[in-house]
Amino acid sequence: ERAIATGEIQTLEYTLATPDGPHHYESRTVRSGPEEVVSIVRDVTERKQAEAQLAHPALPDALTGRPNRVLFRERLRHAIECANRRAGYRFAVLFLDLDHFKVINDSLGHAVGDQLLITLAQRLRQCVRVGDTIARLGGDEFVILVEDIDEVLAVITTAERIQDELK
C-alpha cells in the first residue's frame, strides 16, 4: 500500500521460522502500475548470521573456556542495573593478575604458560559460588564478579579462599 501511495521503493526485512531454523528475508517493493507492485525478495540469512557474529564476538575465552571481557562487561552492567533497582543489592569485583607470568612464558614456553592459565581458571571455579562469574580479561588477568552478597565478609572469605587455593 505504501509503495502504491508514495511511488517510492519500500524495503522490509522479516524472519520466518522454518524446520531448519529462522530464515531472514529482505523484500523491496515498488509501484509498477496504478494498482500494481513488483517485489523482489531475497534470502539474507547468511548476512544476518555474519552480522550477529561480528556484533557478539565469541563469549568464552578460547584458552580457558571462561567468559571473556565482552561477556564480563555484560554481566557487570546487569549487576549495576540490579543494584540501581533493588535496595540492598550489592556486588563486588575482584581483580587477579599473575605476577611475573612473562617469566614463565619466556623460560618454560607458551604451552606451559597456557596450561598454567587453564589450571588457574579451573581452580578459581572451585573457590566461588555457582552464580559468580570468573572471566579472563586477557593475558594473565582475571576478574571475578561476586553478585548478590549479603555482607562484605562474604567477599573477603572468597578472596581468602582464592589466595589459599593458589598458594
Cell of 154: 562474604
- Give the DSSP letter of residue 60: B
What CA–CA distance (Å, rounded) separates 118 from 165? 14
Closest-CA residue to 57 (of 42, 48, 69): 69
Distances 20 to 16, 17, 45, 54 between C-alpha atoms, Å = 10, 8, 12, 22
Q: Which residue among 114, 140, 148, 164 is the active-site one?
A: 140
150 in catalytic set: no
Instruction: Return the active site residues.
Output: 140
